[in-house]
């Protein structure tokens, strides 16, 4: 009986892990890095900086990557403040050129 409970618990944990991984990327797959993005990095960066507006006087880019957190692939740029204590902003640019600030909230 105890062995059965352990096996059921392991099965439950395995299924839960698979669901969590599936939720991390809505279509269940990471971006295919073997294909070049349809929006180049320099163009996406320029759109992200333009969306920051006057905050570009205080923030500098520390990272860029392609994410699929919102379904379709998009560029994600992380900017940090030069003041103390440092603050950060994450700007995303979809491959169609639409920008938005990512506040880090995931459901």
pLDDT in tens, 85-104: 888 899 999 999 999 988 87
Domain total in the chain: 2
Shared-domain flag, residues 24 and 37? no
What the block records as the tokens of 2 is: 């105890």
Q: Please give the pLDDT value at position 57.
A: 87
- Domain residue limits at 21: 1-30
Evaluate if residue 43 carries a pLDDT over 90. Answer: yes
pLDDT digit string, tens, across residues 53-68 = 988 888 999 999 998 8
Cis peptide bond N-terminal to 85, omega within 30: yes
Q: Quote the pTM value.
A: 0.69
Share above pLDDT 90 across residues of the chain, in percent, rounded to a whole number: 43
CB-based burial label for 31 (10 Å; 0-12, 13-18, 19+): middle
Band (pLDDT 50/70/90 cuts) for residue 22 is low
Same domain, 40 and 90: yes
- What's residue 27's pLDDT? 54
Residue 4 has pLDDT above 80, yes or no: no
Nearest CA to 26 among 66, 65, 67?
Answer: 67
The answer to whether the beta carbons of residues 60 and 101 sit under 8 Å apart is no
Same domain (yes/no): 72, 103: yes
Mean pLDDT check: name the lowest of 21-30, 41-50, 63-72, 76-85. Answer: 21-30
């Amino acid at each position: 009986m105890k062995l059965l409970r352990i096996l059921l618990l392991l099965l439950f944990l395995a299924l839960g892990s698979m669901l969590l991984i599936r939720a991390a990327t809505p279509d269940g797959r990471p971006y295919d890095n073997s294909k070049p993005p349809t929006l180049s990095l320099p163009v996406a960066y320029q759109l992200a900086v333009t969306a920051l507006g006057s905050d570009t006087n205080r923030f500098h880019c520390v990272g860029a990557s392609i994410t699929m957190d919102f379904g379709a692939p998009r560029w994600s740029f992380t900017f940090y403040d030069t003041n103390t204590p440092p603050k950060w902003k994450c700007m995303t640019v979809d491959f169609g050129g639409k920008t938005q600030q990512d506040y880090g909230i995931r459901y």
